[in-house]
Amino acid sequence: MPDATGLELIAQELREAHGEDVVAETTFFRNQATLTVEPGSIRAVLAHLREQGYAFMSSVHGVDYYPHEPRLGVIYELLDMSRVDRIAVKLRVDSGDPVVASVTEEWPTANHQEREVYDMFGVVFEGHPDLRRILMPEDYEGHPQRRDFPIGGEPVIFTFNEGDSTGSSE
Amino acid sequence: MSPTEEPTLSEYRRREQSITLAPLHEQLEERSEGEGSTQELLTLNFGPHHPATHGVLRLLVTLQGEIVRDVKPIIGYVHTGIEKTAEDKSYWKVIPVIERMDYLSYYFNAMAFCTAIEKLAEVDVPPRAQYLRVIHLELNRIMSHLVWLGTSALDLGAISMFWYCFREREKILDLFEMSSGQRMHTRYFQVGGVIEDIPHGFEEKLRSFLKEMPSRVDQYGALLNRNEIVLQRLRGTCPLDAETLLTLGVTGPLLRAAGNPWDLRKAAPYSSYDHFDFKIPVGTQGDNYDRYAVRLAEMYESVKIVQQALDGLPEGAHITDDRKIALPPRHELATSMEALIHHFKLVTEGMRVPPGEVYSPIESPRGELGCFVRSDGSSKPARVHMRDPSFVNLQATAPMVKGAYIADMIATLAMLDPILGGIDR
């Protein structure tokens, strides 16, 4: 892990390279470094970190910060295999218009994972080659992993009730 | 004419009309000799209910003769919303549902989740518990590889391997039953340690298993390593270089087979893995045979780790004595009011975990298994996410099998070792 100072240095470099407001926040919690960045700059930030050695993207996942706005978060876990060093990059978008640039072109591993975040949270990844639901049925309504999506009360789909409504309409 | 423009679409194809396969000209680009002169492509539905898919994986395959031109995996058939369910349960009740994600490596699922909570709550795990965890994790790794070996050999047509592998797997399950009372989904790992110390007789039984197991792996190797059919099906088929695998996020035996020795047990040791002497098997070609050989060799290494952990098993507590995290011992309840209060609070409300977010990766039999947990300070997690290696590794299917024969695709799927419970969660 970069230590707290290392994280600040990375943040400083990013600010110098991509403008003052690109890094919104740095968090160093339980020995884990997290950069919160401005959503529009995600591709530039990830490209910058890749040059610093964080060339392996181990995970992309979504978080719902309901009831706080901006509500939806996307976290990219980066790994530097030669220094065994991890850094997380986080961005937050408003639930009203959750659009983020897709990073699938540079990081092919993000393909399925961005689809999962889209499926579960409704974050739209602009430029994704194949943005479809991945785990839920195609005609499902709503994004079940959001915090205000209710648990239970859903009919089990068999052949005889296949045409009935699926999912809960928000 | 692309398959999606067919005027008469079958029912399953109509429902997934939005699935686009690669453009026709791309698929037809490289044509090898002797496939016939027609440009005809066939879209084949493969699965979800097919024994060779190792679960309910469904593939849409475009074939040109026998050659695979494009593959699209379709998943979600066993999606059970475990991540959502976890948000509605107190921390210690999450462990049983988490274990059911990747149903062949339940100790690993529990381990990833427990280490995440331990990081959040800053709990120290006693040395004995760490060693007990290593013993069970590595037994689980052998067990998972045995199921993989048995079913993969079955896919290649070798039915007897299946019985041999399941014979040894039974012995491991017997050991799990002895230590935890359950053969699968044992709920043995707890936040802060393990639920119970190993019982009398466990050590003896484990030692006899450890003595026997390397010779059993020798036997598997003797049956398969130089078997003409196995060699023809695996050697040189569907290789993928380490560079491409890394961009696809692939970890675990698949990456090691391509020559990259990345293993979290060595790179970032957790749970006392740095105390043990073991090697990381790597391949050179990155073909199916290397994938097979790496996993087979890993079984020897796991036996070595368990042996060392058992020999060096430290004395002491098997779970943390932090009463806000772990239940007090039963005998204290009769005499101590405080213990009773702690017991009551833990059983009714559950533990409270400081707010924050952590990502805790471990090395599962299939690669990096990371657990992301966000706590909001209450007694239930606000978000649990598993970065399941099967889910990420599945993306390597298409690059591996494009241009290969359909029979090689079956072998590659077997060597990929996807567990659909982990993919769909």
ipTM of the complex: 0.88
Report whether pLDDT(B373) > 90. yes
* Distance between A120 CA and the closest CA of chain B, angstroms: 10
Chain centre to alpha carbon of residue B191: 21
pLDDT band at A21, cuts 50/70/90? confident
What percent of chain B shows pLDDT beyond 90? 54
Identify all chain A residues contacting B16, using CB atoms and an 8 Å cutoff: 138
Identify all chain A residues contacting B84, using CB atoms and an 8 Å cutoff: 144-145, 149, 151
Token digits of residue A162: 């296949």
Q: Which of B7-11, B115-119, B186-190, B204-208 has the lowest mean pLDDT?
A: B7-11
The per-residue pLDDT for range A33-75, each reduced to its tens digit, is 898 998 888 998 999 999 988 999 999 999 999 888 889 999 9
The per-residue pLDDT for B285 is 87
Q: DSSP for B51-85?
A: GGGSSS-EEEEEEETTEEEEEEEE--TT---HHHH
- With CA atoms as reference, the chain A residue closest to B75 would be A135
What percent of chain B shows pLDDT beyond 70? 91
Identify all chain B residues contacting A34, using CB atoms and an 8 Å cutoff: 357
Best mutation target among A104, A109, A119, A128 (most B Cβ atoms within 10 Å) is: A109
Token digits of residue B420: 């659909």
Mean pLDDT score of chain A, rounded to an integer?
A: 85
CA A101, A105, A106, A110 torsion: positive or negative?
positive
Answer whether B388's CB lies under 8 Å from B106's CB.
no
The per-residue pLDDT for range B145-176, each reduced to its tens digit, is 999 999 999 888 888 999 999 999 999 999 99
Length of chain B: 425
Q: Out of A88, A111, A134, name the one closest to residue B76 (CB).
A: A134
Identify all chain A residues contacting B261, using CB atoms and an 8 Å cutoff: none
- With CA atoms as reference, the chain A residue closest to B263 would be A81
Report whether pLDDT(B18) > 70. no
Residue closest to B301 by CA, chosen among B141, B88, B69: B141
Q: How far apart are CA A96 and CA A72, in angstroms?
A: 10
- Block residue for tokens 């299917």: B397
The per-residue pLDDT for B337 is 92
A113 touches B: beta carbon within 8 Å:
yes
DSSP state of B280: -
Identify all chain B residues contacting A53, using CB atoms and an 8 Å cutoff: none
Q: What are phi and psi of B361, to 5 degrees?
A: -95, 140
Report whether pLDDT(A126) > 50. yes
The per-residue pLDDT for B40 is 72
Q: How far apart are CA B379 and CA B89, in angstroms?
A: 8
Q: Please indicate, yes or no, whether the overall pTM of this predicted structure exceeds 0.80.
A: yes
Q: How far apart are CA A34 and CA B246, in angstroms?
A: 22
Mean pLDDT score of chain B, rounded to an integer?
A: 87
Report whether pLDDT(A170) > 50. no
B14 touches A: beta carbon within 8 Å:
no
Best mutation target among B56, B71, B74, B83 (most A Cβ atoms within 10 Å) is: B83
The per-residue pLDDT for A160 is 75
Answer whether A104's CB lies under 8 Å from A128's CB.
yes
